[in-house]
Chains A and B, each alone.
Chain A
Amino acid sequence: MSKLLQLFSKRAETPIETRGYGKVYLILSGLLFIGTMWSLFDEISTRRPWKDYQDEYFTLSEEKWGERLKEAVASLDSSALREIETQLNEAQAKLISPEIVSIKQKINELDEVLLDLNREFTFAKSRGDEAYYFWKKSIHEGHEDASYKKQLDENEAEMASANQKIGVFTTKHDSLSGIVLELTNAVKAITTKRKELFASLDFAKTRIEKTKSSSISIHQVMSNNFDRSNFGIPKARIDRCQTCHAGWKDETMEDAQRPFTKHPVPELLKIHDPEVFGCTPCHHGQGTALTVGLAHGEDDHYWERPLLKGKEVYASCNSCHMNQTYLKQGDRYNFAKRLIAESGCFGCHEIKGYMEMPKIGPPLNQLTTKESAEWLFRWVRNPKDYNPHTRMPNFKFTDDQAEAVTAYLWSISQSSSYHPQKGISGNGNVDHGKELVDKVGCKGCHVVEEDTRVRTARGTSYDIAPELTRVGSKANNDWLYEWIKNPRSVNPEARMPNLRLTDQEARDIVSYLMTLKDDRQFEQKTIDFSSPETIAKGEKLIREYGCAGCHTIKGMERESRVSVALNNFGRKRVDELDFGDKKSSEVPHTWDDWVFNKIRNPRTYTTDRIISKMPVFSFADSEIVAIRTLLRGYTKELPEEPYQQAFDTRLQKVEAGRRLTHYQYNCVGCHQLEEEGGYIKATLDDEGYAPPYLYPEGNKVQEPWLHDFLKGPTTIRPWLNIRMPSFSLNDEEITVVTKYFLALHKKELEMKDYKAFQPSATYVTVGKKLFDDLQCLSCHYTGKVPEGKTPADLAPNLALAKSRLKPDWIVDWIINPDVIQPGTKMPQYFPDLKEPSPFSEDFGSDAKEQIKALREYVLTIQGSK
């Protein structure tokens, strides 16, 4: 240290002019040089790790194609190759055999001769034209010179003779070259066959060449005017993800390691082409970044939309598809949308896409006729106590609060005009009732006693209709009888259909259900109905807690939603969320943790000043995670028009139909519609007893028939125990269902007179013959159901076809049943329409015409006994 100081003081003593600055200059310029070199290296390589990724990708790609090349080489059929080579050699030998050589020579000679003859011809023509000119000139000038005419004639004669010779030689030439051509073509055909053998090998080779000559560059997709900045100005979306994820569309990269793995779900990619769309609209992340941490968001905490990992990617579907409750391959998205629709979150929260859904709970205007006040009190206090799988959440009322609510509901019920008839429900057979409940279709919606198969098949933690295991302690006989005979007579808006039970059947079921009791002991509670303060308190509580969001209550029909809108909930920042008194060790301060804990226990953030009113649902953890993913997708950031899916009339019809069939009337409980449904199958041993698959209905049934069927169902498959219930749908609802079925097949509802379709006599005759040959009646029937067959082998009554089925559909069905109804037992009689029909020679063995004949015959079948 002191030596350094000495150095400096010595330096200070030397005169300024003689001080040497060489060392200083050297050091500083050396540092500058190092710095510049370092920054160059930094710019070219260190800060551009994507170059390394691309390099790695090309190496990997070469490797994989090299493997494919090896495979292709190994799988080369050497015997076939040898055969082809011998053929090729033979064919080529023929071409160089002496006869062919001499033929070729002759052809050459003929070519020369023809060439000379042609020249003769053209010269003669030329001379003739000259002569013609002079001759005509002489005529025009007044004195015709006949010598020119003579010349003309001579030349024409020459032309004719040359032509004739040309003709002769040409025929000779053509026949000879025809022989040669045949042989050359044979060689060509064999060479092509050989090339085909090497096809995959050559392809692999070209790919390797291409990879070797690929250059390292940034790949980006630019979507102009995709969205708007925070100031409302349109901006483009630029995604450079492909630069590192270079193997996303490379079929050899299906099991490569990250980041080169091929993108799964190619069917989804066809609709959302990343070359048009980019990657970030679905996966989020920072598209313009070229390093992992910045692109995915871990290193850039200011990027508001970090990468959605794993199944969280389903959150982004909501930006474009907010109006739909179901998407093909939607997985978690569909699950979450369904949870929200069925749990009725929209009763308290405004959520886009759910605003017109009907209230999910029953009306509360006539409770006195149905249950006891003590039961109602216990229910209001904690619904899950009576029915652990009910959709109604627990409001955690105190006894006083529950009493007040009960008193109020009891008071409004006094003025209802409905009263069940007394004493009509006696004398029922309990065992028969149990049998009916098991078989007739109640289990499509209700869980009874220990049979939870349908609940498991539905896959949610709640049931869609009340569990009947304790109904004997809740309802009374008379109400129950009237209800199951015809629910709409009790509640004009009831969703429960009626099963067209006879009086005795209804009595039996009532007797059975009334044996299912709640065995637990409860302390006696007298409800104070008369006190106006209690009733007023009850009314206040009901308004405060928003019961009218799920239930129709007299006097509260126009109440607004009692809680916050969730349309922009995905954009809530962590500092905007209230964690109450929870420490960050209990609930980490992230959006994800706040939401998860809130849905699991909504009262968890209550403090001494902030009361939470949201009731407690009992969702399973997987359900909470799904709802959270969906909520993450509720942001007000929509892509601009051209990039969004237009919610056109077809989709609107499909949505309207879905809401009716999936959520309102629970058609999916028995029938499979689209990719989900048919949960009642879990209670059946034989597939043949299951209600039919309804996806083909739009193409399949005549609309007038569907209308009549839905108004009053008739039996199509008498061997089924389950009855199609009568839903009392009005015409509007039936139209919604019809349009839904049609829209699924991209068709519109048209006015069509199906009676105008007249089968032609010839077709009918041929059809009948085929009908008998193919033994259609071995499964189908036209009058009486054949005995001794299992339901799986039975098929519908063909006498119904005339009034029920669409004529075009019958043809499509016979052509390929399995594509319309996968897994059907109906065989495909005509696998290839181009091949002649194996069954008969009518219509020149044309398969399609024969199918039409079958159709015409079927449409003439009348019912028989």
Chain B
Amino acid sequence: MHNIWLLVSKPDNIPIVALLVFVIVYTWWSFAKALKNDRQGYLDEEKMSDKIQVWPNLVRVEFLGALFVMVILVFWSFLIDAPLEEPANPTLTPNPSKAPWYFLGLQEMLVYFDPWIAGVVLPTFIILGLMAIPYIDVNEKGNGYYTYRERKYAVLIYCFGFLILWVSLIVLGTFWRGPGWYFFFPWEEWDTHRVVALTNVDLSEYFGIQTRRADNSLNPMAIIFGIVIIAVYYSLIGLYWIKKKNSEFVKKLGFTKYSIIAFLFLTMMSLPIKMVLRIGFNIKYILVTPWFNI
């Protein structure tokens, strides 16, 4: 319990605990509203036909909100001091060396993907994907009110990507990762001297194909194997298209939008798949090339 208290009370982590609380509360609240709307069949907001003035009604509430936040910040600032750690020393790297909280998800990804993929390719896809949403979203329903039934896929995919992949990985990175980025239960004391056996292999080795030959050069068979696996994985796009070609949903999208969505979705799912492969089966890489690994 001592270690949990240390983690939670560390001035850097207090906002993360607060973040967790807010995420849970607001997710719950929005789903409650969505389910209420869905059950009723009409919108809550439709009941109220009047409109009210922004000034003074909204502005004064906003002002009181600002005042409330000020009060909290004032009391927080003189009860908890900003942390000051040891003098910077170029010959001594702190262990663990953690990224800021908003990048902890990416740092966690580094365990499963190689740095080029986890640090450049995937973040780029995240940003590009978010930017692309307005263009690939063909569902006109659900604008401006909480609903689940009318935007099932969007809500689910978004919640999976945000709550499970982004926020949970932040929580994982804060409380469940210790020195050496090894796994520590939150109540376990952080031991900088811990040694963990590393016995990971590439996927091709489970099929009898060595990744490297005796002279340490890459085995072309393994590269081919990797490419085949990746190709098969992404060919699911085509297969699903062929299967659901005639469904309304897919027809509305059109092939381009559909393939973009499918590609992004499959890439997003590659993270949990990789996590399972790594943690469950000690698999390191699917594809090993001299330039990047997947």
Contact = CB atoms under 8 A, between A and B. Distances in A.
B192 A21 contact: no
B90 A231 contact: yes
Contacts of B60: 21
B86 to A, nearest CB: 4
A426 to B, nearest CB: 68
A786 interface: no
Interface residues on A, range: 20 to 34
A230 B78 CA distance: 31
Interface string A1-36: 000000000000000110001001100110110011
A35 B64 contact: no
Given A16-B57, A24-B64, A35 B74 contact: yes
Contacts of A24: 64
Given A16-B57, A231-B88, A231-B90, A36 B67 contact: no
B52 A17 contact: yes
Contacts of B52: 16-17
Contacts of B67: 25, 28-29, 32
B228 to A, nearest CB: 46
B57 A302 contact: no
B2 to A, nearest CB: 15
A575 interface: yes
A864 interface: no
B158 interface: no
Interface string B72-93: 0011011000001111111110
A31 B84 CA distance: 29
Contacts of A35: 71, 74-75
B6 interface: no
A575 B192 contact: yes
A314 B119 CA distance: 52
B91 to A, nearest CB: 8
Interface in A341-396: none
A592 B52 CA distance: 72
B161 to A, nearest CB: 34
Contacts of B70: 32
B61 interface: yes
Contact of B71 (A16, A31, A229): A31
A28 B84 contact: no
A24 to B, nearest CB: 6
Which of the listed residues A29, A38, A230, A575 has the most CB atoms from chain B within 10 Å of its own CB? A230
Given A24-B64, A28-B64, A17 B57 contact: yes
A32 B71 contact: yes
Contacts of B255: none
A435 interface: no
B68 interface: yes
Interface string A290-320: 0000000000001010000000000000000
Contacts of A38: 78
Contacts of A25: 64, 67
A324 B61 CA distance: 74
Main secondary structure of the interface of A (DSSP, over half): helix
B110 to A, nearest CB: 25
B86 A304 contact: yes
Nearest to A232: B90
Contacts of B74: 32, 35-36, 39
Contacts of B71: 28, 31-32, 35
A38 B74 CA distance: 10
Nearest to B52: A16
Contacts of A21: 60-61, 64
Contacts of B89: 230
A21 to B, nearest CB: 6
Contacts of B57: 16-17
A302 B77 contact: no
Contacts of B87: 229-230, 302, 304
Contacts of A32: 67, 70-71, 74
Contacts of B85: 302
A36 B78 CA distance: 10
Given A17-B57, A32-B74, A575-B192, A230 B64 contact: no
A621 interface: no
24 contacts: A16-B57, A21-B60, A21-B61, A25-B67, A28-B64, A28-B67, A28-B68, A29-B67, A31-B71, A32-B67, A32-B71, A32-B74, A35-B74, A36-B74, A42-B78, A229-B87, A230-B87, A230-B89, A230-B91, A231-B88, A302-B86, A302-B87, A573-B92, A575-B192
Interface of B: 52-53, 57, 60-61, 64, 67-68, 70-71, 74-75, 77-78, 84-92, 192
Q: Which 7 A-B pairs have the closest CB atoms?
A: A302-B86, A35-B74, A230-B89, A28-B67, A31-B71, A39-B78, A32-B71
Given A17-B57, A28-B64, A229-B88, 11 more contacts: A21-B60, A25-B64, A32-B67, A32-B74, A35-B71, A36-B74, A42-B78, A230-B87, A231-B88, A304-B87, A575-B192
